[in-house]
Structure 1
């Protein structure tokens, strides 16, 4: 630089802050000047791509839609800056319910990953110069053209990622959003911000990110569509519900038909009566038990037995149906309805009334064979277990997990619940079937396989696996607690990532971490008097005839219960 080109010597000296700002601006300008020229510039590396882009650009530049359309497309393109349009769309979806929140979470999560890959990795690796847009009218050109590299289009990647992510959880919503996503992609061509190859590459990246996300964390639609609850079973078709007796517990759960009602029973009974006018609907009164009412109905000739209530009521009536060899009609009326969810009777993917679905299955004679467990404690008569059995801290783990899963999702909530609960755990001393004395923090057995892996399984995979899915946490030192937390977390993650699961090995092969899983036909051990034992949401205390340990036996009975389920629910 010559002297004459330098700043006059009489110029005021720059302050330190001014110098810093100037230096920062120069550095930013240098970075921007380097960004378009990535390591692999598509137009220089592949001339065929350049020819294709130029041909498409000539056609899109020649498109004349009119001033109003040009303005609208320009505004749409600007609305997609920093994914603003997708954040708003995700917020709206989140207000529509559980299915909408899942779709919103997956869609925005896909946007975050796709945007990062496109703008940080893709543009650095490929980049390239953007179209000049010199021939476009002022109504079409961006006021401030982007200075980052051209390939791939970050706007297109985000648009495709959001639409695909939403469609994975809620296909109808994804189909509704797809035209908007396509319009955003086209807008980048219309305003001269990108070449066609940029848009195609960005859209492909967005779709790919969402699909990889589905492979890692399957969507609820994938789970329900790919995993029928169980095989078909024989059950009598009962038009109008003739020959069916339904036992209704008026004190169970919340009322999904009328959430403001104080008691769910009468409203549920009325609804069942409307759907199946030929059925005998019996609302429990004080002093009656669901089990005895069901037994009396079958003794009087009922062809099938129905139940409306929580998991405890369902288990009691299901036990009578299983022992009597009659089919069970399930009308979800509890708070959590775990068994109904396993059968896909309660599922936000299915529009309409779960009661209507159950009623149509009764009239059609459509049923599925379901596994059940039989639990004996001490000298007591065996009771039917439909969902889970546990001793130790599992109920507390579930309570903490359920308080977190709306915010974190079941999988992460399960890990956090383990971290919070295990440090306070008190071990239970048990005697195994072969006489060994052991100290455990938790014994869990699921009727059929559950997921995720780890100490806090959340959902049942099928209802016909024919195994007890056991998870045992052995007590020990503080180091053992830490190893147990890590092993449980690893199992939770690997249950979603099969490759990681194969690399990490099978939990039942080693007790070094204190966490052992297995799949068995029966579970047998003994516990001290008064030990709390939980099954299907109910808790009982172990008791026997003496001060000796109380024997506990849980046995799997595959396909021993027939439940009415409409075919499209499976």
Structure 2
């Protein structure tokens, strides 16, 4: 079609076209809308006349500078002496440190955003020191959320008030003009996410499950002066600590009989001699000595009192007698209960754990490094070194053969799940806790370490976990040494472990 134009005739296709306005993408319009809403919310908070905000928000935001508020709370939690509270403090600080590092060095550099117009904020409410870094996200809020989430994962009762305080810190960043509300929400989300991911790598120790059966209380007379109690002391335990324990016990229980072993005395024989005349058999030594005493106590059907005199004292801690004073009080008040023990090949009593392969080496490597590297990295490194350097063994159980370098067996169920068992909440469930890492499959080392780092070890096909009353295995390639309660037994080709339900009477605080 031709149309007249100045100087001649042109077709429609030759006519100049009006520019077509470029449509903004939906995502861009949403982002712009959220930014406008964010600015309006900031102005609403800034313009709100509140004496409470004027007096509290600057103080709170200054307290959170350099994470001083959270580090002070962590110190208070650590000083309580309660294991769950101390774990909450440690997890909170670790989560905070990792979050602060990632937020300030990585995330803040992703998308630049200018700080709000601080002139809109009342002078009394303004932060004394305005940051110059990128506004998105709020580093204070990220650290606050990470600490609160870390604390809550270990101790929900503590986590609730700390989470409220973290929310107030986030509000203070808006009220003092340092951040937009969106910056704070982003920071809270980042801190929470990092803490939760950390819990996947290092699972929190689970709270004790609901009691399905109360601890069995055994009637026994109170012994406020220690009459009828014979204490056998192994002075070699705990670098001489057992001897110090004996002196403390003599003072608190003057009627107690104390037998100190000489360098040539046999522990088992001395315990049996003591049991001939004792109403209560007591032991001061490490877990190996306690296991021997438990064997004699079960054999003679005598109550056992355990005074922590070794280096680690796992059994004493798990029955609630981690201090000498607690055992003394249990004897004085006559609080006696029953716990399980494990019978190994009908000859040996196990009170804590048994293992084959390189499990003890793995634990020593991890504990040596975790103070410097943190538990996840230390566990991964120790796992790699153990799987690379230690000779695996082949065993047969339940009609299947597998190769393993790491085998753990516990007396009663341990927490948490995975290959870092730490504590028992009950010691009378009649079960063995068996955990095995299979290393004979293709790429097994890489697969195990990847599963460990991603918190998915329990779902790996290379990880086997059983809770059973009895466990038996055979060594395919000949006798292998078996470690139990810190001692190494003679090599054997056949091993049978049986849980002896409530076989041992033991003095302990009854909760």
TM-score (norm: length of structure 1)? 0.66
Supply the RMSD in Å over aligned alpha carbons: 4.9
Question: 2:485 aligns to what?
Answer: 536
1:407 and 2:350 equivalent?
no
Counterpart among 137, 146, 150 of residue 165 in structure 1: 150
Question: 2:271 aligns to what?
Answer: 294
What is the SS of the residue equivalent to 2:49? helix
Counterpart among 319, 322, 334 of residue 310 in structure 2: 334
Inter-partner Cα distance in structure 1 for 2:182 and 2:221: 59
Question: 1:319 aligns to what?
Answer: 295
Assess, with a 3 A threshold, how the Cα gap between structure 1 residues 105 and 41 changes in structure 2: closer, same or farther: farther
Q: CA deviation at 1:294?
A: 3.1
Counterpart among 218, 243, 251 of residue 236 in structure 2: 251
Q: CA deviation at 1:266?
A: 2.6
**Structure 1 residues without counterparts, runs of 5 or longer:** 1-36, 255-262, 347-353, 508-512, 544-549
Assess, with a 3 A threshold, how the Cα gap between structure 1 residues 194 and 319 changes in structure 2: closer, same or farther: same
Question: 2:49 aligns to what?
Answer: 59
Contact between 1:156 and 1:199, CA under 8 Å: does it hold in 2? Answer: yes
Question: 1:510 aligns to what?
Answer: none
Question: 1:563 aligns to what?
Answer: 506
What is the SS of the residue equivalent to 1:192? coil
Counterpart among 217, 222, 225 of residue 238 in structure 1: 222
Question: 1:193 aligns to what?
Answer: 178
Inter-partner Cα distance in structure 1 for 2:190 and 2:38: 19
| Cα distance per residue 1:418-475 (max 9 Å; x no partner) | 21022223344667797x9876545442223345666665555642343333344566
Contact between 2:341 and 2:411, CA under 8 Å: does it hold in 1? Answer: yes
Assess, with a 3 A threshold, how the Cα gap between structure 1 residues 166 and 159 changes in structure 2: closer, same or farther: same
1:130 and 2:94 equivalent?
no
TM-score (norm: length of structure 2)? 0.72
1:39 and 2:31 equivalent?
yes
Assess, with a 3 A threshold, how the Cα gap between structure 1 residues 84 and 128 changes in structure 2: closer, same or farther: same
Counterpart among 405, 424, 447 of residue 486 in structure 1: 447
Inter-partner Cα distance in structure 2 for 1:556 and 1:142: 65
Paired residues, what number?
Answer: 477
| Cα distance per residue 1:40-62 (max 9 Å; x no partner) | 75574589x83x96267422479
What is the SS of the residue equivalent to 1:59? coil
Inter-partner Cα distance in structure 1 for 2:276 and 2:466: 40
Question: 2:341 aligns to what?
Answer: 372
Q: CA deviation at 1:555?
A: 1.9
**Structure 2 residues without counterparts, runs of 5 or longer:** 1-28
Q: CA deviation at 1:567?
A: 3.2
Inter-partner Cα distance in structure 1 for 2:389 and 2:475: 23
1:467 and 2:467 equivalent?
no
Inter-partner Cα distance in structure 1 for 2:187 and 2:147: 12
Assess, with a 3 A threshold, how the Cα gap between structure 1 residues 282 and 524 changes in structure 2: closer, same or farther: same
Inter-partner Cα distance in structure 1 for 2:100 and 2:126: 26
Contact between 2:397 and 2:473, CA under 8 Å: does it hold in 1? Answer: yes
Counterpart among 466, 471, 494 of residue 522 in structure 1: 471
What is the SS of the residue equivalent to 2:48? helix
Question: 2:6 aligns to what?
Answer: none
Counterpart among 377, 382, 389 of residue 417 in structure 1: 382
Question: 1:26 aligns to what?
Answer: none
Counterpart among 409, 412, 416 of residue 448 in structure 1: 412
Question: 1:396 aligns to what?
Answer: 361
Assess, with a 3 A threshold, how the Cα gap between structure 1 residues 411 and 465 changes in structure 2: closer, same or farther: farther
Question: 2:99 aligns to what?
Answer: 113
Assess, with a 3 A threshold, how the Cα gap between structure 1 residues 41 and 212 changes in structure 2: closer, same or farther: farther
Q: CA deviation at 1:385?
A: 0.6
| Cα distance per residue 1:102-121 (max 9 Å; x no partner) | 72453242454378579987
Q: CA deviation at 1:93?
A: 8.1
Q: CA deviation at 1:162?
A: 2.7
Summarize the alignment of residues 333-372 of structure 1 with structure 2, pairs less than 5 Å apart. Answer: 333-346=309-322, 354-372=323-341
Inter-partner Cα distance in structure 2 for 1:168 and 1:288: 49
What is the SS of the residue equivalent to 2:489? strand
Inter-partner Cα distance in structure 1 for 2:271 and 2:213: 25
Contact between 2:359 and 2:406, CA under 8 Å: does it hold in 1? Answer: yes
Inter-partner Cα distance in structure 2 for 1:471 and 1:360: 36
Assess, with a 3 A threshold, how the Cα gap between structure 1 residues 482 and 228 changes in structure 2: closer, same or farther: farther
